[in-house]
Amino acid sequence: MNRIEIKLPCGDLASRHLAIAIRHKIEPFIKHGEVVHLNLSDVTSISESYSDELFGILVAKNGLERFLANVRIENANQSTLLSIAIVIKRRSDQIQRKSTNISGTSVYHSKY
């Protein structure tokens, strides 16, 4: 099996629109159970909106376990990793609350 590596653009990443394009490249690989290596070596910083659109939506669509099994984040600086971790945790918590409250009266509804 070939190594699937996607290099994120250099600089400060802040556009949801650009994140969507990267996510669309990743989704077919996850769907087929392949591991995608995301190279963030040229990323200086990442906004919460970019991080959510790329990583958060992948977690929302695939679940945390599948995301962690199929996505490898490589060469990211500390602040970028922190931004990604915050978004992943928030989306994972939303999924957990949604499944926990499904039989109760306070069901969380989300597009994803």
* pLDDT one-digit tens code per residue, 30-87: 999 999 999 999 999 999 999 999 999 999 999 999 999 999 999 999 999 999 999 9
Q: For residue 106, tell me if it sits in a domain.
A: no
Q: How confident is the model at residue 108 (pLDDT cuts 50, 70, 90)?
A: very low
Residue 109 lies in a domain: no
- Banded pLDDT at 96 (limits 50, 70, 90): confident
Q: Is residue 110 part of a domain?
A: no
- Does some domain include residue 107? no
58 occurs within a structural domain: yes
The answer as to whether 105 is a domain residue is no
Residue 46 belongs to domain with CATH number: 3.30.750.24
Q: What is the pLDDT of residue 103?
A: 52
> pLDDT value at position 100?
73
- Under 8 Å CB-to-CB from 12, ≥6 apart: which residues? 44, 45, 46, 47
Given a cut of 80, whether residue 6 has pLDDT beyond it is yes
Residue numbers of the domain that contains 33? 4-100
Question: 68 near 75, Cβ under 8 Å?
Answer: no
Question: What distance in Å separates the CA atoms of residue 83 and residue 19, rounded to the nearest whole number?
Answer: 14
The predicted pLDDT at position 95 comes to 87
Domain count, the chain: 1
**Is 111 within the bounds of a domain?**
no
DSSP tag of 47:
-
Q: What is the pTM of this model?
A: 0.86
Asked whether residue 52 is assigned to any structural domain, the reply reads yes
Q: How many CB atoms lie within 10 A of CB 13?
A: 24
